[in-house]
Amino acid sequence: MNIGLDMMGGDFAPLEAVKGLQLYMSEDIRTASIFCIGDETQVRPLMEEYQVTSPNLHLVHAPEVIGYHEHPTKALKEKPNSSIAIGFHMLATGKIDAFLSAGNTGAMLVGAMFSIKPIEGVLRPTIATIVPKLNGGTGVLVDVGLNADCKPEQLNQFALLGSLYAESVLGIENPKVGLMNVGEEEGKGNILVQATYPLLKENRQVNFIGNIEGRDLFNDKADVIVCDGFTGNIILKLAESVYDLTLQRGFASDAYFSRFHYENYGGTPVLGVAKPVIIGHGISNAKAFMNMIGVGEKMIESQICAKMTDRFSS
């Protein structure tokens, strides 16, 4: 398998990306070929300094960088030699099987939408995040920010995309799908969730268990939690702040709360596009980059995009 890694994406790039590669290459036998896309004048000296060498590593020169505050569409058009633009070109032309970046999120989403394109039948791609469960397992929260305003049909598709990801990548058998709401009863909620409920209830492709509330997020009631991106992003940022509070209050050693750290999950997959695209946190450190590559491996090995394509074509 061939994985493309944006070496210039992230607040601490390319140093942390190089250190992440060092961690990745030091564990077990690595068979994936990693295409390190970035400014060779910056990346190569760091790879030599940290002795990151392997026949499976290939440096692809990308002299331009898309900054965080640049307009995504304009930047991709005006900077064809940027690491993100080159990464998507390589993914679209089959030179790599997955593309990972902790760079400009907007540019990554635009590239995923217009270079790779949504799977036929998918109304809107979505982004998901991992939810640590109290029982030691993990769940999926979808959407977490890509689609602030949604239609019931889109939430219905998010449930299927999240279920396929939970089953194929996270190994959750017949994942339970819950609709985030303000009450458990079928008639509760705003117009969006009231209209979504019957669609999920009739959807035989997902294991819908009904409405769930915010208090159910971290228990075992649902494996896939579905909501619009506005709600999901608020939940995600609140969870991140809970982790920050545990550090400030001296609970950093707590085994459960330590699982909230973004570095453990590597990045956020874009679900519903034809090939694996993973977006990392802007402050990604070496461990996060290492785990981001791991997510890319799992998505390729599980053939998750092909499974989504087959499911939507049927």
Q: pLDDT by residue (tens digit) across 207-262?
A: 999 999 999 999 999 999 999 999 999 999 998 888 888 888 887 678 888 888 87
pTM score: 0.91
Domain harbouring 33, CATH code: 3.40.718.10
254 and 291 part of one domain? no
57 and 138 part of one domain? no
Residue 95, judged by CB atoms within 10 A of its CB (0-12, 13-18, 19+), counts as middle
Q: Are 291 and 146 contacting, i.e. CB atoms less than 8 angstroms apart?
A: no
Percent of residues, the chain, with pLDDT higher than 70: 100
Instruction: Give the per-residue pLDDT at 258.
Output: 82
Instruction: Give the per-residue pLDDT at 196.
Output: 98
Q: pLDDT by residue (tens digit) across 98-122?
A: 999 999 999 999 999 999 999 999 9
Residue with tokens 């920010």: 145
Question: What distance in Å separates the CA atoms of residue 89 and residue 70, rounded to the nearest whole number?
Answer: 20
Residue with tokens 């992440």: 20
Domain hosting residue 286, numbered range: 1-118+272-303
Q: What is the mean pLDDT of the chain?
A: 94
Residue 273 has pLDDT above 80, yes or no: yes
49 and 131 part of one domain? no
113 and 128 part of one domain? no
156 and 246 part of one domain? yes
111 and 132 part of one domain? no
| Range from 10-19, 65-74, 170-179, 245-254 carrying the lowest mean pLDDT | 245-254
Q: pLDDT by residue (tens digit) across 145-154?
A: 999 999 999 9
Residue 28 has pLDDT above 80, yes or no: no
The runs of H, that is alpha helices, within 29-186 are 40-49, 72-78, 83-92, 105-111, 152-168
Q: Are 58 and 35 contacting, i.e. CB atoms less than 8 angstroms apart?
A: yes
129 and 243 part of one domain? yes
50 and 182 part of one domain? no
User: What is the domain count for the chain?
Assistant: 2
